[in-house]
Amino acid sequence: MLAAVEQLGLAAGDPAAPARAARRVVDRRERAEGKWELTLEDGARVTVFRNGTHKESRGDGVSVVRFNNGDVRQSWGGRGLVVYYYAQAATVHVTHADGTQVFHFPSGQVETHMVDGGKDIRYPDGTHKQVLPDGEQRSTFPDGTTMVERPDGTHVLSPPESQQPGAGASAQGRPANVR
């Protein structure tokens, strides 16, 4: 367990500890069930659990939990903001106070999930997709082509505005209305 404490880079009373070391440990206590509680000179408290999880609670309401699988959860209590990093998937999940959730994927895709069930998805290639609460999906592709997918299965494809109206086909030669 003490090795886990040392991993924090916080050696009790050691002024030469690594960069976050301006945060010297001023008190270290072993608690029940094999966990350690550290108090840092800046007032933060770090709990090191037996399974390797570290929880830091700061006086400003921020808490950071580092799990032994590499995941990290940060929360800003007073603001209602939670940021969770999934290490294995390299994905960041942000939950806002109003319940809106934003996912940042390693591919560059960003999805915003609204409380009403709607979604806004932005793909790295420039495609933008909106999923409305009623199930309708609206996509705008990088060339300006738009497609609406209705809950009844109907698809409406519209060419970019730069093309002449009434041409009846998209830039890819698809009919303007596809069922």
State percent of the chain over pLDDT 70.
Answer: 78
The pLDDT tens digits for 105-155 are: 999 999 999 999 999 999 999 999 999 999 999 999 999 999 999 999 999
Distance between CA atoms of residues 43 and 57, nearest Å: 9
Backbone angles phi, psi at 23, to 5 degrees: -110, 70
Question: Is pLDDT above 50 for 177?
Answer: no
The secondary structure element, H or E, covering residue 6 is helix 2-7
DSSP state of 12: B
Query: Cα dihedral sign for 92, 97, 101, 107?
Result: negative
pLDDT higher for 179 or 112? Answer: 112
Q: What is the pLDDT of residue 30?
A: 86
Distance between CA atoms of residues 56 and 148, nearest Å: 47
Backbone angles phi, psi at 33, to 5 degrees: 60, 30
The pLDDT tens digits for 27-75 are: 888 888 888 999 988 889 999 999 999 999 998 889 999 999 999 999 9
Q: What is the pLDDT of residue 7?
A: 39
Enter the pTM of the model: 0.73
Pairing label, strands 72-76, 91-95: unpaired
In the predicted model, what is the mean pLDDT of residues 72-98? 94
Residue 170's Cβ-count burial label (10 Å; 0-12, 13-18, 19+) is buried
